[in-house]
């Protein structure tokens, strides 16, 4: 899959060319992968990132830099990355001030829609309308398309 330095060069070159970058990191492996993606590769978002919950300093880094986590709860449960939805660290991340968004990863593979992901998370973590709205707003605030393209 390449070395950290090879990935760093690719991500930095993408940034130099004006592209936005996300790293699929911390779904498996360790929180150190998330740290590398943020500190070395200078990514703007992290896809998954659940392993960040294993390291307080990585969570602090995400909070400090405002790097959002693209959370895919159903995928994480079905692939065994978390034992159950109720064990998912999304609420921990949210409480720490890390921007989180809800995502499906692969709706056809996992049999879930975004609406269902939102409903399940809200039900499991007892989120009220304000919290749900905030999570949805995070997705809007951290989108890669500009105002002129999004209307």
Catalytic one among 6, 9, 27, 54? 27
- 44 included as an active-site residue: no
Q: What contacts 54, CB < 8 A, 6 or more positions away?
A: 30, 31
Q: How far apart are CA 124 and CA 127, in angstroms?
A: 8
Q: How far apart are CA 102 and CA 7, in angstroms?
A: 26
Cβ-contact 133, 122 below 8 angstroms: no
Cβ-contact 105, 117 below 8 angstroms: no
Active-site positions? 27
């Amino acid at each position: 899959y390449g070395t950290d330095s090879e990935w760093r060069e690719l991500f930095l070159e993408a940034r130099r060319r004006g592209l936005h970058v996300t790293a699929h990191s911390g779904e498996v492996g360790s929180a150190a992968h998330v740290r590398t993606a943020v500190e070395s590769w200078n990514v703007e978002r992290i896809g998954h990132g659940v392993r960040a919950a294993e390291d307080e300093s990585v969570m602090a880094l995400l909070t400090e830099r405002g790097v959002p986590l693209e959370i895919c709860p159903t995928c994480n449960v079905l692939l065994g990355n978390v034992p159950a939805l109720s064990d998912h660290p999304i609420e921990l991340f949210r409480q720490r001030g890390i921007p989180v968004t809800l995502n499906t990863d692969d709706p056809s593979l996992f049999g879930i829609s975004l609406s269902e992901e939102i409903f399940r998370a809200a039900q499991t973590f007892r989120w009220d309308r304000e919290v749900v709205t905030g999570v949805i707003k995070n997705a809007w605030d951290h989108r890669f398309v500009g105002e002129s393209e999004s209307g």
